[in-house]
Chain A
Amino acid sequence: MMEQGRSNMQNRRTVLRGCATALGLGCAAPSSAGMLERLFGAKDEKEVIPNDAPEALWKWSTEALHYRRVEGNVQCQLCPNECTLPPRARSRCKVRVNIGNKLYSLVYGNPASVHVDPIEKKPLYHFLPATPVFSMGFAGCNFGCLNCQNWEISQRKPEELNNYSLFPDEAVAAALKSKSISVAYTYNEPTVVYEFMLETARKARSAGLRNVWVTNGSMKREPLEEFCKYLDAANVDLKSFSDETYHTLNFGALQPVLDTLLLLKDKGVWFEITTLIVPTYTDDPAMIRAMCKWIRANLGPDYPLHFSRFHPEYRLEHLPPTPPSRLEAARKVAIEEGLHYVYIGNYRTDQGSNTCCPQCGAVVVERIGFTITRMALNMGNCARCGRRIAGRWTV
């Protein structure tokens, strides 16, 4: 009878597992490690990776321009992360390694993504409108945004991707061949490909091309000052106006981004700001108002601000898309705070994509999607009242 008992124990087990299997297979189909950190003090996901440098450098490697040696390690001086790399370690952005007590970039001339886009897609609405821009994206990023729409490249090491081979001369030649007016460093965070970006920007400028930087704005002052010599325009993500949100959502920090905006203004680089309105994170009207006040007070009213609609993406899959009313509300707040050019992106609205003259209210640039349907500008001035519309309108 004992054996009978054992066999019946088996019965229960089989029913249990059968139930679970069937339910899982049949019913539920159509559909951060933060706790670990809290519970066990686990490591931040964006940390220096020890012993992860490749065995040998490849042809797309170059010694980094901004770093220093600290007690047998090297410390990157490119972005505010200031990664300190022991021998053979890899930086948080996944593209810089310490080999032989020198810091190397592994992303010199190997973009993973190359496309020709309209400049409006960056988005830059006040910079050479309706012109094509030769756009390159690489592996790596110094942030770790939970909603990154290019995570397939930005959160990867260069060795893990299928890359093009496009050294600065070749990139400039390809841009010219594509009849682009500008070269954009975009898709991932281009700061991490600084050496390539700087050299290409220099050569592009010599070839008559403009340089566009689409960035999270986290670069240290010294390299940025150097880069600004060749930089024509930038779109800077101001992801929120809260350091805590920056930390939670982006693995970044607010102040360096504000510093970048101030520096770009000082250097006379045209820039536009993008804020993604992520429900429950960056849609607080009070925060948006504080951000707009800061922009108005420190940058002035003329740099465009784009409020972009969030869609569930990457790891942030459990949030709804931004309700259009929140985008409209954010735009209203920004206009109330005195900003002249406030747009809504990733969502089609009648007013949110047009440029209006801040003086007479006339529509000076009418857009649908990424297409300009009408322009009423006369050498960068409102065709109706003649008021100067901020931007870089002609080549």
Chain B
Amino acid sequence: MVRLARCLVGRYFQVVDKGFRSGPGRFRLLLAVSALGVSSVVTQVTLTRELLNLYQGTELVLGIAVSAWLLLTGAGAWLGRRGPASGAGLPLALVAVALLPFVHIIVLRYTRFLLAPRGAVTDPRTLYLVLPLLTGPYCLISGYLLPAACTLLAKSGDAREIGKVYFADTVGDIAGGLLFSTVLVHLASNLGALYVPAALNLGAAFLLLCRQSRRWLMGVPALAALCVCVLWFSGIDHRSARRLFPHQTVAAQVESPYGRIAVTREDEQYTFYENGVPLAATTDAAEAEETVHFALCQVPRRPLAVLVVSGGLGGNLEEVLKYPVTRVDYVELDPAVIGIGRRFSNRFDDSRVTVHTGDGRRFVEEATTTYDAVIVDLPPPATMQVNRFYSAEFFAAVRAVLRPDGVVSYSLPGAENYLNRDLAGLYGTVASAARAAFSHVVGFPAGKAVFVAGDRPISRAIGDSLRLRDVRTRYVNDYFLSATLTPDRLQQFDRAVAFAGRPNSDLFPVAFRMQLRYWLGKFDHRIGWILAALAVASVILLLVGGPVETAIWSTGFVSMGAEICVLFLYQVLYGSVYLRYSLVVALFMAGLAAGSWWSNRRLLVSEAPAVEGSRILVRVDGGIAAFLLLSVVAVGWTSLWRSAAVLYGAVAAVAWLTGAQFPAAGVMRRGSGGETAGVLYAADLFGGAIGSFLVTMFLVPAVGVANTLVALAAIKGTAVVRLLWRRPG
């Protein structure tokens, strides 16, 4: 059998190779490359979203996933630097590229609770090892393909054709980005989105093979197409998604652009999940009572206007409606949460409640009415996006929509018996941010830690206050609070709240860092040594690597870092970056194309391309450094950044400078075209991998956005010095 299989595979390669060289048609080839482009973008986006759905959607998971992806794709490029022995691999690779993403997602779902006990969070150290293993095959193949194809085409035909091939690839990339952002994300689940690129890739494989003399070869993509059809009709998407809730009954599951919302039913209880984490249960009154009553019993007894930011599934609105309210505005980012909430509860049905879907931060900033209380019930600041609801800027915006005797409340993870340093730091930095806008900030150590801020003294005599208002509660009353709001625990909270350190802010997300440290503490995991090792490796490479390679990997590092900063800024100002992302992608591509066109043109007209390349490289690197330094100055001008044109311009500028560098680096480096392409591609991805991790996990949380940009400028400045040192003459 083995000999027979070998024989068949060998024959396959032989025949395909022959057909490829004889020319299957330029148009077909261009289509195939475009299909690859679509697949690579859609697959990465989809796999990344799946990982975030499965592993709680934290920045750490994102950092690990993106870094692993870039590193492995870089490894693939490195392997492909000498090119393939023949052209036979292309159709086969297309088939693999069509099928592997399905395999990855299904394996990820089925191994979710093999990686951790049922219902438990996966140790991030496990993810370091397992995520690359589970997503590696696709990354390696897609990384391998481009330099390999580059070399192959250079051998077999007119080198000028290669530009067209890469144009086709770019078209595929753009199409993939737009297709996902505008269509697939709204209409398809993660697994469902993969059918489109799979169909394109298999179609392209057919096209490449259909002119072969041996038609039986088409059986390979046909078999693959059959597998995809079986997947489609097998209901594997639903079944594998249900595996994520072992021993529970899944009542509903929805994939929205913002995450995976699920509802499980156990007896009379419905539990609502987002990305696998329970948001609320219909039988859980305690949390909603804590969220609402500590705040609302502080405001004067009169008809109230209340703004509630999220938490509606947990019953916050029912608790608010126990007061004499005239108006309740409820804001929820994800319409799917509202939809599913309405389906399984009547929590949004009261006529006094107006439901708004959108970003809560923007809602507050644009609100024209004033409120007696703003109740924020969001997850802890485990991501940069949520951090915006715990920042000084947010509290200032809330202050502007509150009546003089109004209050705002927010919640953080609770610790009833011992307040560890990270949690105390988290309480402290957020309280410090709130104190910048309000005279009084008081914490309540209950099941979770609830904080109330306002300009009048905050009372802790909750039971008395509730009795005065004739508000009936099951848990927030003296029967329970007498054992939690004890003097020793209150003192502990007061000490943490009195913290005089740096307040959490949008562009210096201290709370995000503290929350990350607190969460990692559950695994006794110190991420510092990983970050330190990456930082040291970066410095060594920066100082001793080849100047051209250094220029390229540092561009990967810096452009990744700059992109993160720009997107971060965008998100701070506009909320979710998601729905406008297609425009960002298009601008990126336009900037890159313009940059590479400019660079190529300069090189083509130059009599000494190597010298010109060196000159371009130095100018571009210098340009990046200067751009970053300018951004440092501009980063504090929120009025400037509020102009979308400036943000988009920044995206295009980073892309232009990045795009201009590759052609110049290519002419400066010795070696064959394919090898050069492979090495530079790998270096760039390697830089991007380190940059994404260090910037997200260390630089921005530890030193803020402005200082991060300075650090990135310093890295680029060092690369310029290295180039100048080498530059002939």
Interface residues of A (CB under 8 A from B): 1-36, 38, 112-118, 120-121, 137, 146, 149-153, 155-156, 161-162, 187, 248-249, 279-281, 311-312, 314-321, 323-326, 348, 368-371, 373
A sample of 11 cross-chain residue pairs with beta-carbon separation below 8 angstroms, ordered by A number, consists of A5-B677, A10-B659, A17-B560, A26-B577, A28-B383, A120-B483, A121-B483, A279-B248, A315-B120, A323-B283, A373-B479
| A372 CB to nearest chain B CB (Å) | 10
| B389 CB to nearest chain A CB (Å) | 10
**Are A19 and B684 in contact (CB-based, < 8 A)?**
no
For residue B48, CB closer than 8 A to chain A, the reply is yes
**Are B57 and A28 in contact (CB-based, < 8 A)?**
yes
Interface residues of B in 535-559 (CB under 8 A from A): 556, 559
B99-119 toward A: CB 8 Å interface, digit per residue (1/0)?
000000000000100111111
| A211 CB to nearest chain B CB (Å) | 19
**Are A15 and B174 in contact (CB-based, < 8 A)?**
yes
| A162 CB to nearest chain B CB (Å) | 7
**Are A161 and B246 in contact (CB-based, < 8 A)?**
no
| B177 CB to nearest chain A CB (Å) | 6
Binds A, one of B14-22, B160-168, B293-301, B363-371: B160-168
The complex places the Cα of A4 from the Cα of B385 at a distance, in Å, of 37
The complex places the Cα of A202 from the Cα of B113 at a distance, in Å, of 47
**Are B663 and A6 in contact (CB-based, < 8 A)?**
yes
Binds A, one of B315-323, B392-400, B417-425, B702-710: B417-425
Instruction: Give which listed residue, B62, B159, B564, contacts A28 with CB less than 8 A.
Output: B62
Known contacts A20-B45, A28-B258; A15 and B588 CB within 8 A of each other? yes
Instruction: Give which listed residue, A2, A13, A318, A325, contacts B73 with CB less than 8 A.
Output: A13
For residue B222, CB closer than 8 A to chain A, the reply is no
**Are A249 and B576 in contact (CB-based, < 8 A)?**
no
The complex places the Cα of A370 from the Cα of B486 at a distance, in Å, of 13
**Are A30 and B120 in contact (CB-based, < 8 A)?**
no
Known contacts A12-B169, A311-B447; A7 and B677 CB within 8 A of each other? no
Instruction: Give which listed residue, B59, B166, B266, B596, contacts A323 with CB less than 8 A.
Output: B266
Return chain A residues, CB-CB under 8 Å to B188: none
* A-B contact sample (4 more), CB < 8 A, given A24-B48, A33-B116: A16-B44, A19-B44, A26-B385, A248-B117
Instruction: Give which listed residue, B56, B180, B267, B281, contacts A31 with CB less than 8 A.
Output: B56
**Are B479 and A18 in contact (CB-based, < 8 A)?**
no
**Are A17 and B688 in contact (CB-based, < 8 A)?**
yes
The complex places the Cα of A156 from the Cα of B673 at a distance, in Å, of 55
Return chain B residues, CB-CB under 8 Å to A9: 77, 146-147, 150, 166, 169, 662, 677, 681
For residue B351, CB closer than 8 A to chain A, the reply is no
**Are B488 and A115 in contact (CB-based, < 8 A)?**
yes
Instruction: Give which listed residue, A13, A15, A279, contacts B266 with CB less than 8 A.
Output: A279
Which chain A residue shows the least CB distance to B681?
A: A9
**Are B567 and A30 in contact (CB-based, < 8 A)?**
no
The complex places the Cα of A36 from the Cα of B166 at a distance, in Å, of 41
Binds A, one of B4-12, B122-130, B640-648: B122-130
**Are B677 and A321 in contact (CB-based, < 8 A)?**
no
Known contacts A30-B259, A315-B120, A318-B278; A25 and B571 CB within 8 A of each other? yes
Instruction: Give which listed residue, A2, A38, A156, A315, contacts B114 with CB less than 8 A.
Output: A38
Instruction: Give which listed residue, B115, B275, B474, contacts A35 with CB less than 8 A.
Output: B115
Binds A, one of B64-72, B229-237, B432-440: B64-72
**Are A117 and B483 in contact (CB-based, < 8 A)?**
yes
Which chain B residue shows the least CB distance to A314?
A: B522
**Are A370 and B480 in contact (CB-based, < 8 A)?**
yes
**Are B420 and A161 in contact (CB-based, < 8 A)?**
yes
The complex places the Cα of A371 from the Cα of B482 at a distance, in Å, of 8
The complex places the Cα of A249 from the Cα of B559 at a distance, in Å, of 45
**Are A3 and B662 in contact (CB-based, < 8 A)?**
yes
**Are A18 and B66 in contact (CB-based, < 8 A)?**
no
Instruction: Give which listed residue, A1, A16, A149, A348, contacts B40 with CB less than 8 A.
Output: A16
| B258 CB to nearest chain A CB (Å) | 5
**Are B474 and A117 in contact (CB-based, < 8 A)?**
no
The complex places the Cα of A3 from the Cα of B259 at a distance, in Å, of 40
Instruction: Give which listed residue, B40, B333, B593, B685, contacts A30 with CB less than 8 A.
Output: B333
The complex places the Cα of A321 from the Cα of B131 at a distance, in Å, of 29
The complex places the Cα of A25 from the Cα of B418 at a distance, in Å, of 32
Return chain A residues, CB-CB under 8 Å to B564: 21, 25
**Are A33 and B114 in contact (CB-based, < 8 A)?**
no
The complex places the Cα of A255 from the Cα of B585 at a distance, in Å, of 61
| A329 CB to nearest chain B CB (Å) | 8
The complex places the Cα of A5 from the Cα of B164 at a distance, in Å, of 8
**Are A35 and B111 in contact (CB-based, < 8 A)?**
yes
The complex places the Cα of A115 from the Cα of B488 at a distance, in Å, of 6
Known contacts A30-B334, A31-B274, A162-B421; A8 and B169 CB within 8 A of each other? yes
Return chain B residues, CB-CB under 8 Å to A162: 421
**Are A2 and B277 in contact (CB-based, < 8 A)?**
no
Known contacts A26-B577, A318-B276, A371-B479; A11 and B259 CB within 8 A of each other? no
The complex places the Cα of A1 from the Cα of B597 at a distance, in Å, of 11
Q: Which 9 A-B pairs have the closest CB atoms?
A: A7-B596, A8-B166, A3-B663, A369-B479, A24-B62, A29-B385, A28-B57, A319-B119, A28-B52
**Are B584 and A18 in contact (CB-based, < 8 A)?**
yes
**Are B114 and A35 in contact (CB-based, < 8 A)?**
yes
| A18 CB to nearest chain B CB (Å) | 6
Known contacts A1-B159, A20-B48, A27-B257; A12 and B146 CB within 8 A of each other? yes
**Are B447 and A25 in contact (CB-based, < 8 A)?**
no
Return chain A residues, CB-CB under 8 Å to B409: none
| A160 CB to nearest chain B CB (Å) | 9
Return chain A residues, CB-CB under 8 Å to B662: 3, 6-7, 9-10
The complex places the Cα of A371 from the Cα of B480 at a distance, in Å, of 7
**Are B489 and A115 in contact (CB-based, < 8 A)?**
yes
Return chain B residues, CB-CB under 8 Å to A16: 40-41, 44, 69-70, 73, 173
The complex places the Cα of A17 from the Cα of B691 at a distance, in Å, of 11
Return chain A residues, CB-CB under 8 Å to B480: 369-371
For residue B189, CB closer than 8 A to chain A, the reply is no
Which chain A residue shows the least CB distance to B111?
A: A35
**Are B166 and A5 in contact (CB-based, < 8 A)?**
yes
Return chain B residues, CB-CB under 8 Å to A137: 417-418
**Are A368 and B479 in contact (CB-based, < 8 A)?**
yes
For residue B269, CB closer than 8 A to chain A, the reply is yes
Instruction: Give which listed residue, A4, A17, A24, A368, contacts B70 with CB less than 8 A.
Output: A17
**Are B37 and A21 in contact (CB-based, < 8 A)?**
no
For residue B284, CB closer than 8 A to chain A, the reply is yes
**Are B418 and A187 in contact (CB-based, < 8 A)?**
yes
Return chain A residues, CB-CB under 8 Å to B162: 1-2, 4-5
Which chain A residue shows the least CB distance to B246?
A: A280
The complex places the Cα of A4 from the Cα of B477 at a distance, in Å, of 70
The complex places the Cα of A314 from the Cα of B522 at a distance, in Å, of 7
Known contacts A3-B603, A26-B571; A35 and B581 CB within 8 A of each other? no
Which chain A residue shows the least CB distance to B488?
A: A115
For residue B666, CB closer than 8 A to chain A, the reply is yes
Return chain B residues, CB-CB under 8 Å to A324: 268-269, 283
| A356 CB to nearest chain B CB (Å) | 19
Return chain A residues, CB-CB under 8 Å to B169: 8-9, 11-12
**Are A4 and B600 in contact (CB-based, < 8 A)?**
yes
The complex places the Cα of A279 from the Cα of B246 at a distance, in Å, of 10
| A284 CB to nearest chain B CB (Å) | 10
Interface residues of B in 558-586 (CB under 8 A from A): 559-560, 563-564, 567-568, 571, 576-578, 581, 584-585
Which chain A residue shows the least CB distance to B659?
A: A7
**Are B278 and A320 in contact (CB-based, < 8 A)?**
yes
Known contacts A6-B662, A19-B45; A27 and B383 CB within 8 A of each other? no
**Are A35 and B692 in contact (CB-based, < 8 A)?**
no
| A189 CB to nearest chain B CB (Å) | 14
For residue B96, CB closer than 8 A to chain A, the reply is no
Return chain A residues, CB-CB under 8 Å to B281: 320-321
| A42 CB to nearest chain B CB (Å) | 9
Return chain B residues, CB-CB under 8 Å to A18: 563, 584-585, 588
Which chain B residue shows the least CB distance to A325?
A: B267
Which chain A residue shows the least CB distance to B181?
A: A19
Which chain B residue shows the least CB distance to A17?
A: B688
